[in-house]
Amino acid sequence: MDGCVFCRVAEGKAEARVLFADDEVVAFHDLHPQAPVHVLVIPRRHVASLAVAEPADAELLGRLQLACAEAARRTGIDGSGYRVVANSGAGAGQSVFHLHYHVLGRRHFTWPPG
């Protein structure tokens, strides 16, 4: 999608510190981390948010969840605990309208989240 920064990351046209990538997903370090470990996991295909995901996206959504777990393993936070967040819509804090998961770790998290 034209103008989408995460589409540009997925295409290799925007700079990012990529942790890993495959044919369907890209995991990269957040430019403005909210925790000592803060990785974003995105689909290569543009999906604006969970709100517009469809049943046909079920396999991709599962792949994204597995990629979040892989990001935790590769950053060493899988044993100590981590949080996975997906904001859907501006009211929930989504600022880039390309589906993405935040994988956060190495700090204490409270409940309920902010």
Residue 82 CA: distances (Å) to CA of 1, 15, 17, 64, 103: 31, 25, 20, 16, 7
41 contacts 68 by C-beta, under 8 angstroms:
yes
State residue 113's pLDDT score: 83
Q: Which residues are catalytic?
A: 100
**pLDDT tens, 57-98?**
999 999 999 999 999 999 999 999 999 999 999 999 999 999
**pLDDT tens, 20-54?**
999 999 999 999 999 999 999 999 999 999 999 99
pTM of the model: 0.96
Q: Which domains does the chain have, with CATH numbers?
A: 5-105 (3.30.428.10)
